[in-house]
Each structure stands twice: as structure tokens, then as C-alpha cells.
């Protein structure tokens, strides 16, 4: 059975969402058309607005419709602390978990030379200019504990060293409530080498 | 075709669909292969720590042709130190070279073993440059592009440590005095002879051999420069 051309277009367009295949796209399209036209109209309006106006913060590169994002524009933040993360979602996660007082810098990815992503593609020249200004005193490297995240952190820590900025890396180890027996060797090795003195 | 518990390293990987990955593997008995690993990017996947570059893993797959299906992957019993700090860019550099010089399905067991040794030795972050140069030399030799580091090109005249040479790729060194081609790399006989012996302890030798290998590797890789070089700071 084939749908009308416009309906097919809608179903096709919905498939750009992550985790949405042909069947779910069809369900969404029918739901919006049959039960929630108002919601759909709002969605389309907001979607258009967002796509047109949301860009990147000129200071930290996170997603923002203003020149400066809310974090960077907030005068109450501690400007000497800078936390480097891979994605805007990481900013949310950290913000909710620890209520970080400093500013963020969002790389929008990690160093991955075989995918053609080098320091320049991550806006590290922007970060370097910022370190050069001397406002930042400590940089916290919160990239993911993958080989690429580790490489990115290492690169930035060397850069920070050149400007006399102290760099620290998030610790990694055994998850809360975890059991050693079921933890992969890599994590265990990291946890072991990064052990902390007690008492 | 089914392959069980094959020793492998991951050279590269990239996301595929929502929760899957395409993984470029360097395996011991089957050479370089590409495999799709379903669900390994999902939040619950236990493979995330296993499917990382520079880890010695054992993989099982089925299918044949350009893209096989990864059925299982686990860490090998062989102890491999973690690469950290300055060893990481070196690892990516070598992976990029292997990705571009090894043809799919060409079996290179010796290179595989040497690569494993290299990763182990890079982990201490000492003399990284020397280790990279010696691996490059070994790799080219195994692939049939062995460098001529002992005799003048076109003659059996042994190199003189005190004289200067031009290096012609695929031919070898030619006495610099006889040819006045200014765009060619000038390199001392001592550097070539030391490198032949695997001795890169002299700093001047290291510098000259670095230029030589840069030129030679670039020649075999083609026009696209190595992106991993940007990671060295």
C-alpha cells in the first residue's frame, strides 16, 4: 500500500530522527495527523525557529541562539575554571550531577585523525587563544574515557602546560555499586593505577 | 564462512546506524577486514571497553566479502599495557599508516606480531620516535618496498659514512657530488648505514632519517597527508 505523496514525505522526513525506522515513522505521522494536530503545528514551528536561529556560542562552542550561551554570559560563574567536554549533552550531565561553578568548553567531538578530525576541526585554536589570555587558571579535562577522548585530553593538557595553566583529568574507575569480577580489564587497570591513598 | 576466536587489533571504527559500528580490524590470520558490530554502541553494551583501538582482542565473525558480521569479541589473555600520554598519537599514526598501506584480506602475520610488540614497547613512552622509524622500516620491507641503505643505486659500491647522498625512492642513494638535483633530499652515508643497523641513537641521524622516512612513506601513501601528524604537539 502506498501513501499519498505528502504523507510519504512526512514519514520519510521523520526518519531523520535517531532510532526511528520506517514503521515508527509511520506511527508518528499517523499519531500527529489523527490525534495531535496542534502539537504537530507547534513542533513544526519550533523546529523551524530552532534550525534557523540556534548556532554555536562564540566562546564555548555549545549550541546557543545567542552570541554567548547562558553559561558564558552568567557573571556569577568562576572564569578561572574551564571544563572541556565533548558534547552539549555532557554539559547537561555534568551540570545536573555536580553543579559546576566554572565555565565549559564544548569540543563537539574528539580527536580522530582517521576520520579527518584534527585539532583545528575541534576549535582548539579558539581554546588556545583563550588560554593565552590568561584568565583561565585551571582546565578540567572531561572528555570520554575512550582512546580518542584520552588522546584529546592529552593534547589539550600539553597545550595548557605551554601557557602555564594547570590541567586535571576526570578520574576513571569502578562504577558505584560495581563488582570487580564483572569489570573489563581496561577499566580495572585504570582504576588500579589511579588508586588513592586512604587514611 | 565462520571464524572463531581470531586474534585482532582495531585500527579504526566509526558509527553505523543508531547503535552499531563498522570496525576495521587487523587480524593475525586473515589480514585486514571490516566488520559490522551490531548494538555495540547501545547504552547497555558490554563491548564498549573491549572494542577500543590498541587492545589485543579475540573476535569471531561470520560472512564473507567486504563486510562481515562480528558475532563475538572479548579481551585476549595476552597482557597488553595501556597506551597513555605521548604514546597515544604514535598509536594513531601507525594505525593510519596500516589502514592505508595494508590491503584488505592480505595476510601479514609477521607484521601483526611486530605491531603487537610495538604497542607493548610504546607504552613506556620512551624513545617513541626511534620505535616508529624502525617499525616503518620493517613495514616497508615486509610489503616489498625495502629501502636500499647499504649500497649506491645502480652499483655495488658500499656507502661511505663520510659522504653525502641523494636518496632516490625505489632506487637508493646516489653520491651527491655527481648529481646536482637541488630538490632531492641530501642525507649522510652515516645516517643510512646506522639506520640499516637499526641504530638511531645519534640525534643528527634521527633527524635525517625522519626526513627520509617522511618522504618515503608519503610516496607510498599517495597525495593525502597523514592526519595523525597533527596530534603531535
pLDDT per residue over A138-185, tens digit each? 999 999 999 999 999 999 999 999 999 999 999 888 888 888 988 877
Over 90: is that where the pLDDT of B208 sits?
Answer: yes
CA distance A110 to A113: 9
| pLDDT, chain A, mean | 93
Substitution target in A22, A114, A120, A124 with the highest count of B β-carbons within 10 Å is A114
Q: Do A151 and B88 touch (CB under 8 A)?
A: yes
Instruction: Report domain extents, chain A.
Output: 5-53, 76-169
CATH number for the domain running over A76-169: 3.40.1360.10
Specify the pLDDT at position A2. 79
Specify the pLDDT at position B31. 96
Instruction: Report domain extents, chain B.
Output: 2-75
Q: Is the CB of residue B63 less than 8 Å from the CB of residue B69?
A: yes
Residue B52: list chain A partners with CB under 8 A: 146-147, 186
Strand A78-85 to A138-141 pairing: parallel
Does the CB of A187 have a partner CB in chain B at under 8 Å? yes
CA B18 to chain centre: 31
* Complex ipTM: 0.90
Looking up cell 558505584 gives A176
User: Which positions ≥6 away from B118 have C-beta within 8 Å?
Assistant: B94, B131, B135
Alpha-carbon distances, residue B91 vs A41, B155, B229 (angstroms) = 51, 38, 11
Nearest of B92, B130, B151 to residue B209 by alpha carbon? B130
A-to-B residue pairs, Cβ atoms closer than 8 angstroms: 67
Work out the average pLDDT over B145-162: 92
Q: Do A114 and B18 touch (CB under 8 A)?
A: no
Specify the pLDDT at position A182. 84
Specify the pLDDT at position A173. 85
> At B22, is the pLDDT very low, low, confident or very high (cuts 50, 70, 90)?
very high
pLDDT tens per residue across span B104-124? 999 999 999 999 999 999 999
Work out the average pLDDT over B62-76: 93
Substitution target in A17, A24, A184 with the highest count of B β-carbons within 10 Å is A184
Over 70: is that where the pLDDT of B178 sits?
Answer: no
Q: Is the CB of residue A115 less than 8 Å from the CB of residue B14?
A: yes
Q: Do A184 and B75 touch (CB under 8 A)?
A: yes
Over 70: is that where the pLDDT of B181 sits?
Answer: no
Specify the pLDDT at position A1. 62
Specify the pLDDT at position B146. 94
CA distance A83 to A144: 13
Q: Which among A158, A187, A190 has the least Cβ separation from residue B233? A: A158
**What count of Cα atoms within 13 Å lies in the side-chain half-sphere of residue B18?**
9
Alpha-carbon distances, residue B179 vs A2, B154, B165, B166, B174 (angstroms) = 74, 14, 9, 8, 8
- Positive or negative, the CA dihedral A82, A83, A87, A93 is negative
Over 70: is that where the pLDDT of B135 sits?
Answer: yes
Q: Nearest C-alpha of chain A: how many angstroms from B84? A: 8
Q: Which among A114, A151, A185 has the least Cβ separation from residue B89? A: A151
Q: Is the CB of residue B115 less than 8 Å from the CB of residue B26?
A: yes
Residue B40 grid cell: 555495540
R_g over Cα of chain A: 22
Q: Do A114 and B82 touch (CB under 8 A)?
A: no
Q: Which residue of B has its CA nearest to A187?
A: B49
Tens of each residue's pLDDT in chain A, 199 residues: 678 999 999 999 999 998 899 999 999 999 999 999 999 999 999 999 999 999 999 999 999 999 999 999 999 999 999 999 999 999 999 999 998 999 999 999 999 999 999 999 999 999 999 999 999 999 999 999 999 999 999 999 999 999 999 999 998 888 888 889 888 777 888 888 889 899 7
Q: Nearest C-alpha of chain B: how many angstroms from A63? A: 22
**What count of Cα atoms within 13 Å lies in the side-chain half-sphere of residue B54?**
26
Q: Which among A113, A184, A193 has the least Cβ separation from residue B230? A: A113
Q: Is the CB of residue B41 less than 8 Å from the CB of residue B61?
A: no
Q: What percent of chain B has pLDDT over 70?
A: 98
Q: Do A185 and B92 touch (CB under 8 A)?
A: no
Beta strands in chain B (DSSP E): 2-16, 20-27, 31-37, 57-62, 67-75, 164-168, 172-175, 186-188
SS3 B233: coil
Residue B228: list chain A partners with CB under 8 A: 113-114
Over 90: is that where the pLDDT of B141 sits?
Answer: yes
Domain B2-75, CATH class in plain words: mainly beta
Does the CB of A175 have a partner CB in chain B at under 8 Å? no
Domain A5-53 is classified in which CATH homologous superfamily?
Answer: RecR Domain 1 (1.10.8.420)
Q: Which among B82, B86, B227 has the least Cβ separation from residue A113? A: B227
Beta strands in B52-92 (DSSP E): 57-62, 67-75
CA distance B183 to B175: 15
Amino acid at each position: 500500500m502506498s501513501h499519498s505523496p505528502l504523507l510519504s514525505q512526512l514519514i520519510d522526513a521523520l526518519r531523520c530522527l535517531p532510532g526511528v525506522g520506517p514503521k515508527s515513522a509511520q506511527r508518528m505521522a499517523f499519531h500527529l495527523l489523527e490525534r495531535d494536530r496542534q502539537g504537530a503545528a507547534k513542533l513544526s514551528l519550533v523546529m523551524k525557529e530552532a534550525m534557523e536561529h540556534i548556532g554555536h556560542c562564540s566562546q564555548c562552542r555549545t549550541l546557543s541562539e545567542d552570541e554567548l550561551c547562558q553559561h558564558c554570559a552568567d557573571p556569577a560563574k568562576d572564569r578561572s575554571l574551564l571544563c572541556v567536554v565533548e558534547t552539549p549533552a555532557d554539559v547537561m550531565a555534568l551540570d545536573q550531577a555536580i553543579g559546576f561553578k566554572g565555565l565549559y568548553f564544548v569540543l563537539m567531538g574528539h580527536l580522530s585523525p582517521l576520520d579527518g578530525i584534527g585539532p583545528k576541526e575541534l576549535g582548539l585554536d579558539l581554546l588556545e587563544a583563550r588560554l593565552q589570555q590568561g584568565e583561565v587558571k585551571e582546565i578540567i579535562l572531561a572528555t570520554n574515557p575512550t582512546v580518542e577522548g584520552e588522546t584529546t585530553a592529552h593534547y589539550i593538557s600539553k597545550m595548557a602546560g605551554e601557557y602555564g595553566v594547570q590541567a586535571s583529568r576526570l578520574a576513571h574507575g569502578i562504577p558505584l555499586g560495581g563488582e570487580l569480577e564483572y569489570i573489563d580489564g581496561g577499566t580495572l587497570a585504570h582504576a588500579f593505577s589511579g588508586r588513592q591513598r586512604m587514611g | 564462512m565462520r571464524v572463531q576466536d581470531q586474534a585482532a587489533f582495531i585500527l579504526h571504527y566509526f558509527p553505523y546506524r543508531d547503535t552499531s559500528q563498522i570496525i576495521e580490524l587487523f587480524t593475525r590470520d586473515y589480514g585486514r577486514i571490516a566488520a559490522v558490530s551490531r548494538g555495540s554502541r547501545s547504552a547497555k553494551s558490554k563491548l564498549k571497553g573491549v572494542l577500543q583501538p590498541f587492545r589485543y582482542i579475540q573476535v569471531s565473525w561470520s560472512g564473507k566479502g567486504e563486510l562481515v558480521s562480528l558475532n563475538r569479541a572479548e579481551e585476549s589473555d595476552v597482557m597488553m599495557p595501556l597506551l597513555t600520554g605521548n604514546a597515544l598519537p604514535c598509536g594513531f599514526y601507525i594505525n593510519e599508516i596500516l589502514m592505508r598501506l595494508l590491503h584488505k584480506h592480505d595476510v601479514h602475520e609477521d607484521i601483526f606480531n611486530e605491531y603487537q610488540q610495538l604497542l607493548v614497547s610504546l607504552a613506556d613512552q620512551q624513545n617513541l620516535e626511534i620505535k616508529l622509524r624502525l617499525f616503518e622500516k620493517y613495514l616497508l620491507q615486509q610489503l616489498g618496498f625495502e629501502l636500499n641503505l647499504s649500497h649506491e643505486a645502480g652499483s655495488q659500491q658500499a656507502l661511505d659514512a663520510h659522504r653525502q647522498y641523494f636518496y632516490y625512492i625505489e632506487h637508493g642513494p646516489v653520491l651527491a657530488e655527481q648529481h646536482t638535483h637541488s630538490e632531492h633530499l641530501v642525507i649522510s652515508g652515516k645516517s643510512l648505514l646506522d639506520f640499516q643497523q637499526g641504530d638511531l641513537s645519534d640525534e643528527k641521524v634521527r633527524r635525517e632519517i625522519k626526513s627520509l622516512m617522511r618522504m618515503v612513506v608519503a610516496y607510498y601513501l599517495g597525495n593525502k597527508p597523514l592526519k595523525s601528524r597533527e596530534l603531535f604537539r
